[in-house]
Structure 1
C-alpha cells in the first residue's frame, strides 16, 4: 500500500506508522487495526515557512 502524508518538520514518520511498540500515540497501526511498517520513505517536498 502507498500513503502520502503532509506533516510538520520533526514528525517521526516511521514511529507514527508503526506505533514504536505503543510509545507513539496516536499511530496508524492502531487507527486502522493492522500492524504497519515503513518499507520505503520518500520526501516529496519541503515547504518554507
Structure 2
C-alpha cells in the first residue's frame, strides 16, 4: 500500500476548513491529532456507517 505521511501545524482557527478538506478524501486520511479533530472525524465516519447500514 502506498501512502504519504503529512504532519502540519495549523492554528486552531483553521481546523474547520482543514476538516472539510479531509472529509473530501474520507476513505484515505487518518487524523491523529488534536484529539478534538480526531473525535470529529471518528463521529463523521460513524454517522456515514449508520446512514448506509
TM-score normalised by L of structure 2 = 0.32
Higher helix share: 2
